[in-house]
Chain A
Amino acid sequence: MKALGFRQANSWLHTWVGLLLAWLLYSIFLTGTLSFFQSEITLWMKPELHGSQPDANTPLRALQAMQRLAPNAEQWNIVLPGERDSVIEASWTEPGQKEGKSLTLDAATGEPLQARETRGGQFLYRFHFELFNIPYPFGRWIVCIATMFMFVAIVSGVIVHKKIFKEFFTFRPGKGQRSWLDAHNATSVLALPFHLMITYSGLLLFMYMLMPWGVESVYQGDVRQHIQELGLRSAPEAKPPVTATGVPLVDPAPLLQQAEQRWPRGIARITVSQPGTDKAWIEFHELGNAQLSESRHREPLRFDGVTGQPLPSPPRPDGGTSAAIYNLLTNLHLLRFASVELRWCFFLSGLLGAAMIATGLILWVSKRLPAQQGHTPFGSRLVQVLNVGAIAGLPIAIAAYFWANRLLPVAMAQRADWEIRSLFTAWALCLLHPLLRNHRRAWIEQLTLAALLYAGLPLFSFALPGSHLFATLAHGQWLVAGMDLTLWAFAALFGFTAWKLVKQPLATQTRPLRKVREAKEAPV
């Protein structure tokens, strides 16, 4: 067999390794990108929580509320409203019970809030790394294999390019296949460091599942021991035995003041261990303070729960440079400790990544248009149908998920499951629809539908008091307003694309090769 050159062989590899799992990878990439804002999406999907307005007294109010709700708990965990949430999330464990309890509290009143049952943004997050309804651990293995394919596709893609910097600035619109190639190159190269990082760190997050042989050999399979030695996760702290109960908790106000003076950004979390006993302690964690190379927030403030005296926190083992690298990469992937600006940057990069996969798929189809034969071979038709159903279909399915969240009755049984069913039903319909329409029609119809669905969602919010744009903008509730505005931005994007497709003159769609046409016209 004639040997191909290095770049040629990698071009072949890139096409096939890219194509085989492209639709799955697009779904993973898109839902993963949305997961960067999973807290905000969950908040948007619970309109009952939109009225909660945090203020300066929220931490004190939260502690007082816990005193009412769970005076005899073993541990209180209070997550205060911050940059990504406007309600108090309280959870606690009762002594002797394994399952913890949790409640959402209003930040202004401290009263429990009852939100509609929904999986929210967390469904998208879990889907993106373990898919849905696939028995453990097969979903994760499928996603990890796809991730490896993606990594090989990216590396082979880089090998294929001769002039990677020139391609940064090359975009020739309106030239059919060449334009799609330029779009594919541009979306890949513009965010290349992001794509490499997110793919490789995705593998790292599952490395104990994928490559456990080192731990098996050196630690005889004791993963927990390995993790603790590295300081990646702290060993659960042993609770000292209680000698006296009914001891009132120290007034937290001066402690809160100390913490707030020290940390201008505010307090993120409060943990109280064994409240109402003599062994109680209160710990505060700073909002946003953490180094990317760490796995936890640095230097929490801990006070004795009875006297209010400062206590030292338990020491953490040092994992060295390798643990720092692991933490850095995984924290980047999970976007832990990230500021709002960085979150948006990553969100846009993620959308570029999804666009990279989409343009690659469309490029593959455009290279094989049925110009010569007049009919489409089975493989090309399959890719065409899957393209529309996945690239336009998944956004439609997610819009259906959001619409189900708005339309399904609040008190409905198994509401969260029905929302998820709506998503998959819509997706299935989007995969069947292109079978019945020609390629161009299918694209236009699905993109138009997506535009309408996304445009309608913020408009429907006017039926929900306190959740619509006028209310949220007036109260500075940017977490909800931002979501509504982003939905409209997506609607505009889909609408614009559909409009461009409608406007595109039919002559430039199928591009018969000039030689073939001349050969047919020449006298034989």
Chain B
Amino acid sequence: MHMPWQNGETDKKKVISMSIPQPSWWERLREFAQNSRRLDIVARAVLAIFGSYGFAGLVTVSLSWALPMPPAQAVLITMMLSFALMCALAIWAFSAASAWRAWGVALLLAAIPAVHLLLKEILS
């Protein structure tokens, strides 16, 4: 059987690297995405700072319409609760097992008010 290192290559490092299977570019990307600590922290921070604000905003608008009380009170109470929501999402962003999971759950939860508002737009 003809092995690549039998081409007459004598450099030891090259022979060794030729015999270990190299990961493809997407395998390298996945490794980086899952194991880079810096990326993990940055992703969580973006979720905690900007994602939480967006999420709280969506829920505020959605609940302001959805709550069964006079509109003035509904708007007020959702505004007041929004900050607790922001904090909860920030804590989740850093407590989740991975940044991927943090973002995934956050996007899923954000889909609920988003869909509600979309339907409201379409049906009105």
The residues of A with any CB-CB pair to B shorter than 8 Å are 1, 3, 6, 9-10, 12-13, 148, 151-152, 155-156, 159, 200, 203-204, 207-208, 210-211, 213-219, 226, 229-230, 319-323, 325-326
Contacts and interface: CB of A to CB of B under 8 A. Distances in A.
B73 A230 contact: yes
B69 interface: yes
Contacts, number: 98
Contact of A319 (B34, B73, B95): B73
A211 B60 contact: yes
A10 B76 contact: no
A218 B71 contact: yes
22 contacts: A1-B98, A10-B94, A148-B83, A148-B87, A151-B87, A207-B79, A207-B80, A207-B82, A211-B82, A213-B60, A214-B74, A214-B75, A215-B79, A218-B71, A218-B75, A219-B71, A226-B76, A230-B73, A230-B76, A319-B72, A322-B73, A325-B77
Contact of B76 (A1, A6, A326): A326
Contact of A12 (B60, B73, B77, B94): B94
Contacts of A321: 73
Interface string B58-74: 00110111000111111
B20 interface: no
Contact of B80 (A159, A217, A320, A322): A322
A152 B73 contact: no
A69 to B, nearest CB: 41
B86 to A, nearest CB: 7
Contacts of A200: 83-84
A257 B102 CA distance: 67
Contacts of A3: 97-98
B62 to A, nearest CB: 9
Report the contact-size class of chain B (Cβ under 8 Å from the partner). Answer: 35 or more
Contacts of A203: 83
Contacts of B84: 200
A506 to B, nearest CB: 38
Contact of A9 (B35, B75, B82, B94): B94
A50 B65 CA distance: 55
Contact of A217 (B48, B64, B94): B64
B98 A213 contact: no
Main secondary structure of the interface of A (DSSP, over half): helix
Nearest to B77: A322
B64 A214 contact: yes
Contact of B72 (A152, A159, A216, A230): A230
Nearest to A215: B75
Nearest to A229: B72
Nearest to A207: B79
B90 interface: yes
A211 B95 contact: no
Nearest to A217: B61
A148 B90 CA distance: 10
A155 B34 CA distance: 28
A325 to B, nearest CB: 7
Contact of B65 (A152, A218, A320, A323): A218
Nearest to A17: B90
Contacts of A207: 79-80, 82-83
B110 to A, nearest CB: 14
B75 A219 contact: yes
Contacts of A208: 79
Given A204-B80, A211-B56, A213-B61, A9 B98 contact: no
Contact of A155 (B70, B74, B76, B91): B91
Contacts of A217: 61, 64-65
B51 interface: no
Nearest to B93: A13
A213 B91 CA distance: 23
A214 B83 CA distance: 13
A230 B80 CA distance: 14
B97 A214 contact: no
B87 A211 contact: no
A200 B78 CA distance: 14
Contacts of A156: 91
B95 A10 contact: yes
A480 B14 CA distance: 85
A204 B73 contact: no
